[in-house]
Structure 1
Amino acid sequence: MEDIVTPRPAASPAASVNDRSSGKISETWWRTQSATMALLKHAYRKIGDAEAELARREARIRTLEKLALTDELTGLYNRRGFLAEFRRDMKRMQRLGEEGGLLILLDLNKFKQINDCHGHLAGDKALQLISRTLLKLIRDTDTVARLGGDEFVLFLSNTAENDGQEKAIQIRETLNSLFLKSQGRKIPLETSMGIAYCKTGTDFETVYDLADAALYADKNLP
């Protein structure tokens, strides 16, 4: 009876190489692979670091741009930011064929007296209270800014003149009902206001001068 011979599996090329060279080639291959992987990891880490640094720089740029356009005390637009929004609104209204909007100037009466009698911190709180209230009263399409000191400006875009005047009355009545709490006392706040309607295409300086004249007249009413 013939012996049954089980065939041996064919050796893989790598195994053959291993057998022939006592593992030297295999060891070299693994070292090469390890070095390559280390280089790739280092490269990926460098790319990740570069992307993170780019993201940080972009965030810093956005922060600086925001600071350049906003008022530090109130968080509202400053004059520069407001002008940019006003001109953008004008272009949009002109493109869409909208009629115009209402510019409102207002300032806080007796602001110096509040600072002198109750301290500058109370004056700052008064400005912040007015700012928060104005933001609650306007639409997302409207713009409000602090021009400086106690002077604020609003632009009600795409607003009919009569509707704008009614809104201005509401804003003034709301602001004049505010009280500032300071050292256990309630300090009533009162504002003066000037408004001017501007048709699409009107430049800011023209409509500002009209509203400023109206504000001056309101402040000097007997």
Structure 2
Amino acid sequence: MKKKTTAAASGAAKRRKGAPAARKSAPGKRTGTRGAGTKAAGTKAATRGALAPSDKSTIRRLRAQLARAQARIEELQASSETDFLLDILNRRGFERELVRSLSFIKRYQASGALIVLDVDRLKPINDAFGHAAGDEVLKAIVAAISDQVRASDVIGRLGGDEFAVLLWNLSETDARAKAAALEEAIDRLTFVFRGSRVSAGASAGVAILTAHSDVDRVLDEADRAMYVRKAQRRHESQGIPEDPGGYSALRSSGTLP
């Protein structure tokens, strides 16, 4: 009886002795489970972050649409500042370039000049031969102006039969000589419409750009100088060496400088 009791006690002691080892192993098993869960969660997150082929295709399509939209915006902006008939700047585009040029001149003390040209006798050509004939004259005039200026200079159509040229890095003497050369080049142009030979011509006014110039003032100065020149040319063409009074009246009234 005593042996059985001793054996039972010994077995219980062994079981108690082995219990802590079992308990120690349990946390390890739980830790392994958590690690597996974390790995699985990371895999799911990576799966969620990956783009499906359809998503990639959508992104490519949207990028292409955005690029086309940006190109269209640039095209519309350019067309809003371009004369469709003559493929040069319109008044809006030219004034924008003039603003930029004046800012450059003020900052770097550069030199420049503005020439405004008004086409002579364009209205009679339009009235006699139609606007298609007038358009042909305008295109030839733009070509003549382009031949006389540098690639860095800017040509614009201010409206109707009035043009402007922005010239860089030249003196006042050179600017006035260039205005005379432009008049001469346009005066040499001749056209034949319905068997009739006609010419147009142009009058040019000059304004010098300085650090104190602003857009409105310099355009007005060149425009007023152009009207003075137009009156002079009219008198010359009529063979009148002296002012008959009308031109002087305009000057005295302040209409012309």
Give the TM-score normalised by structure 1. 0.76
Q: Does 1:203 pair with 2:214?
A: yes
Matched position secondary structure for 2:88: coil
The letter of the residue matching 1:164 is: A
The letter of the residue matching 2:96 is: A
The letter of the residue matching 2:156 is: A
Shift, 1:46, TM fit:
1.8
Q: Does 1:162 pair with 2:173?
A: yes
Q: Does 1:101 pair with 2:112?
A: yes
Find the counterpart in structure 2 of residue 4 from structure 1.
Answer: none
Matched position secondary structure for 2:151: coil
Shift, 1:48, TM fit:
2.2
Candidates 129, 143, 146, aligned match of 1:118 = 129
RMSD: 1.8
| Contact 1:103 1:153 (C-alpha < 8 Å) held by counterparts | yes
**Could you tell me how far apart the structure 1 residues matched to 2:61 and 2:198 are?**
54
The residue correspondences of 1:181-200 to structure 2 (distance < 5 A) are: 181-200=192-211
Candidates 71, 79, 89, aligned match of 1:67 = 79
The residue correspondences of 1:8-87 to structure 2 (distance < 5 A) are: 40-87=52-99
Give the TM-score normalised by structure 2. 0.66
* Runs of 5+ consecutive residues of structure 2 not aligned to the other structure: 1-50, 236-257
1:129-174: CA deviation from partner (whole Å, max 9, x where unpaired): 2122222321222111101100001111222111111211211111
Larger gyration radius, structure 1 or structure 2: 2
* Runs of 5+ consecutive residues of structure 1 not aligned to the other structure: 1-38
Q: Does 1:172 pair with 2:160?
A: no
Looking at both structures, which has the greater relative contact order when contacts are Cα pairs under 8 Å and sequence separation is at least 6? Answer: 1
| Contact 2:148 2:182 (C-alpha < 8 Å) held by counterparts | yes
Q: 1:57 to 1:96 in 2, by over 3 A?
A: same
4+ runs of 1 displaced by more than 4 Å?
A: none
Shift, 1:180, TM fit:
2.8
Shift, 1:40, TM fit:
4.2
Shift, 1:181, TM fit:
4.0
Shift, 1:200, TM fit:
2.5
Find the counterpart in structure 1 of residue 8 from structure 2.
Answer: none
